[in-house]
Amino acid sequence: MTATPRRIATFAMVLIPGFATSACGRGILATRTPEAKHIALLWWLMFSLGSAAFIVIGGLLFYALFRRRTNPSAFEQRPASQTLFITIGGALIPLLILIVVFGFTVGVMAAARTGSGGMPVQVIGHDFWWEVRYPGSGVTAHNEIHVPVGREVDFELRSEDVIHSFWVSQLNGKTDLVPGLVNRMSITVTSAGTFRGTCAEFCGIGHACMTFVVVAEPQDQFDAWLAAQPSQPSDDPQEFKNGDCAGPSDAAAERAPEPSEVASVR
C-alpha cells in the first residue's frame, strides 16, 4: 500500500520538467515582441516559484504520510508548534512569495501600457472574420495584418457584432473586441515572420475558424505591400457556411467576404 501514493508523487515529478522544456517554437513563450517577452518572464518566475513550492509542500506531505511512526511524534503533543508550522508555512511564506509575484505583475502591467505614438491599425471583428484598416492609406485587408518590423503598432480594436478576442500568442496577450467599446493594444515586433492569430472569445458557430495571420516584414517590404493593395477590398465572397473552416487562414485574404454576405450566412 505504501507504494501507491509514492507513485502519485513520481507521476507529478516526471511531468513537471517535461512541462518546462516542452514549450518552444510557438505559443506564448516563443516571443517576438518585448510585450510578450515580459509576460513570458513573469511566467517563468511564477513557474519556478510554483515548482519549488510544489516540491517543498509535496515533500512535506510525502514525509508526513510515510514517516516512520515507531515513536509517538512530539509534534502531536504540542498544539502550539502545530499552529506555528501552519502559520509560517501556510500564511507567512506564501505571503512573501505573493508580494514578489504581485510586484512583478504590476511591473509588467506598467510596461504594457498602450502607447499612442506608433502606426495606427484598426481591427474590426465580424462573425467570423477580421477586417483590418490602415487609416493613413485607406487600405482595408481581411484576416491578414501586415506590420513593419521594429516599429510600434497601435491597434484599435472594435466589434461589429458579438464579442471577439484578438490573440497572437507570440506577440502579446489577448484584448477583447467588445461591442460598444474601443480597446487599444500596442506591440513592437522585433523580427520578421508570420504569426498565427486567432479569435479567443467564443463567438458562435465559426469561432474555431476565425483565424488570421500577422506578417511582420521590414519597413520597405511593408510599404511595398501597402502600396500594392487595392483601396477597395476584393468582392470575392468567402465560402463560409455551417462553421466549416474555409481553409488555411493565410489564403483567406484572397477570399474575403463582403460584410453583407456574412450577415446573410448567419
For another protein, the binding residues in 158-177 under the rule CB under 8 A are 161-163, 165, 167, 169-170, 172-176
User: Please, which of residues 18-47 interact with another protein by CB under 8 A?
Assistant: 19, 22-23, 25-29, 36, 38-39, 42-43, 46
Q: Classify residue 194 by its DSSP letter.
A: E
Q: Which of 257, 144, 141, 124 is nearest to 197 (CA)?
A: 144
CB of 137 to another protein, least distance (A): 27
Tell me the one-letter amino acid at 182: V
d(CA 207, CA 201): 8
Q: Which residues are CB-contacts of 82 (< 8 A; sequence separation ≥ 6)?
A: 75
Q: Which of 10, 11, 137, 138 binds another protein (CB under 8 A)?
A: 11
User: Please, which of residues 83-142 interact with another protein by CB under 8 A?
Assistant: 83, 85-87, 89-91, 93-95, 98, 101-102, 104-106, 108-110, 112-113, 127
Q: Which of 118, 133, 156, 183 binds another protein (CB under 8 A)?
A: 183
Q: Return phi, psi of residue 130, to 5°.
A: -115, 130
Interface with another protein includes 215 (CB under 8 A)? no
Interface with another protein includes 265 (CB under 8 A)? no
Tell me the one-letter amino acid at 217: E
User: Please, which of residues 219-248 interact with another protein by CB under 8 A?
Assistant: 242-245, 248
Interface with another protein includes 208 (CB under 8 A)? yes
For the chain, the C-alpha Rg in angstroms (whole number) is: 25
Judged by beta carbon, residue 92 or residue 224, the one nearer another protein is 92
Q: Which of 148, 155, 150 is nearest to 120 (CA)?
A: 155
Query: How many residues sit close enough to another protein to count as binding (CB under 8 A)?
Result: 97
CA 249 vs CA 99, 132, 182, 260: distances in Å: 42, 14, 25, 21
Interface with another protein includes 202 (CB under 8 A)? yes
Judged by beta carbon, residue 139 or residue 262, the one nearer another protein is 262
